[in-house]
């Protein structure tokens, strides 16, 4: 499943996609355009239903600056109606950030948060971009996507780590 999804995304991007926190200047060419960001956030919620969840991170994408995107987090159920802290911000080149985000979400799907929040208008909302995954595993997952090796791994929720496929 990951191999097919990755190959489709790479084909759409002429075989190239790059996501990293730091990039050597010789790896970015003049014609390369930053297309957005993949970000990893932690919640600063005081809600006991949220505060007690270990390794809880939101993995999202933005075409613009992350700080602007999260500026009203405490009013938005997407951010669990609380302020958030930026843990990582990866620049994306030559790929649609939403497609990179979708790959990350597929990888960590077994650890997706199952929680219903109530927004400011009293409506139920199920935030779907929050995962209970150690930060170092999120970072490793992103590195695996960059390298293309993600197709050889799955996330094991019980072990709380990425493990090689059993093929």
pLDDT in tens, 48-74: 989 989 999 999 999 999 999 999 999
The band of 45, judged by pLDDT with boundaries at 50, 70 and 90, is very high
pLDDT at position 87 over 80: yes
pLDDT for the residue numbered 20:
46
Q: What is the mean pLDDT of the chain?
A: 86
pTM: 0.79
Tokens linked to 142: 């992103």
pLDDT at position 39 over 80: yes
Q: 119 vs 158, which has greater pLDDT?
A: 158
For the stretch 134-150, pLDDT in tens is 999 999 999 999 889 99
Share of the chain above pLDDT 90, in %: 62
Largest CA distance in the chain: 51
The band of 34, judged by pLDDT with boundaries at 50, 70 and 90, is confident
Helix (H, G, I), strand (E, B) or coil at 115: coil
pLDDT for the residue numbered 36:
94
112-to-14, 91, 92, 128, 155 alpha-carbon distances in Å: 31, 23, 23, 7, 11
Q: Which residue ranges make up each domain of the chain?
A: 2-19+31-164
Any bridge partners for residue 137, and if so which? none
Q: Under a CB-based contact definition with an 8 Å cutoff, are residues 80 and 60 in contact?
A: no
């Amino acid at each position: 499943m990951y191999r097919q999804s990755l190959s489709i995304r790479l084909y759409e991007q002429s075989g190239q996609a790059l996501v990293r926190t730091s990039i050597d200047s010789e790896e970015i060419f003049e014609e390369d355009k930053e297309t957005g960001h993949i970000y990893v956030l932690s919640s600063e919620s005081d809600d006991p239903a949220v505060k007690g969840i270990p390794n809880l991170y939101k993995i999202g994408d933005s075409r613009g600056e992350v700080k602007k995107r999260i500026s009203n987090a405490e009013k938005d159920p997407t951010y669990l109606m609380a302020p958030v802290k930026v843990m990582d911000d990866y620049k994306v080149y030559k790929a649609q950030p939403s497609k990179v985000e979708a790959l990350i979400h597929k990888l960590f799907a077994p650890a997706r948060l199952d929680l219903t929040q109530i927004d400011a208008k009293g409506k139920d909302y199920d935030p779907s971009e929050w995962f209970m995954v150690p930060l170092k595993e999120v970072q490793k997952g992103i590195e695996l996507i960059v390298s293309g090796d993600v197709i050889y791994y799955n996330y094991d929720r019980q072990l709380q780590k990425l493990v090689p496929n059993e093929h």
